[in-house]
Amino acid sequence: MAGQLGGLSGSTTVTIVITDVNDNPPRFPQKMYQFSIVETAPIGTAIGRVKAEDSDVGENTDMTYQLKDEGGGDVFKVTTDSNTQEAIITVQKCLDFEAQATHTVVLEALNKFVDPRFVDLGTFRDQAIVRVTVMDVDEPPEFRPPSGLMEVQEDAQIGSIVGVVTALDPDAANRPVR
């Protein structure tokens, strides 16, 4: 049937599968997040969760987070929830309202898998500011010195001063101590 209609031809079904490439960076929906926590929160306490959005699909949406502490205190730590891709910010060092009532850190989201073909499109990361307000807790008085040994002669007169200790309120209000 060479040269005739339908000659030397055939047909088949072709399935084309389109896969995603990692060509979209993570983006925070807002540029600032605010959280608050009491100063007595134990180390490891979660302060809050933040999630950056990524328009890619599959493993190309996987991201990691890191904190940039401008104050250099390393008071907080961030981990990535592998199921939700959320940043979990936790307490890493003891908090003290009287020393610092507000902490400001920069949270950065980065693509976990960077496709080298798209590096020239810019940085595949985004940043947001996280402000953590430390709430005051009424703390008990502190003795100064915190401990010590006072000696007295066995033949000391009744009413003699053996030593002096003071107690101070460590809170900002600095209430009188009885």
Q: Count CA atoms closer than 13 A to 151's CA, side-chain side.
A: 1
The domains found in the chain, sorted by start residue, are: 32-135 (2.60.40.60)
The DSSP symbol for 132 reads: E
- Count of CB atoms situated within 10 Å of the CB of 17: 4
Instruction: Please state which of the ranges 30-34, 70-74, 106-110, 133-137 shows the lowest mean pLDDT.
Output: 70-74
Q: Name the DSSP class of 7.
A: T
Q: Which of 104, 105, 50 is nearest to 79 (CA)?
A: 50
Quick: pLDDT tens for 79-91: 999 999 999 999 9
- pLDDT(12) > 80: yes
- Reported as a pLDDT band with limits 50, 70 and 90, residue 15 is very high
Give me the sign of the Cα torsion angle 51, 54, 58, 60.
negative
pTM over 0.85: no
Q: Is the pLDDT confidence value at 129 over 90?
A: yes
Beta bridge partners of 103: 132
DSSP state of 53: B
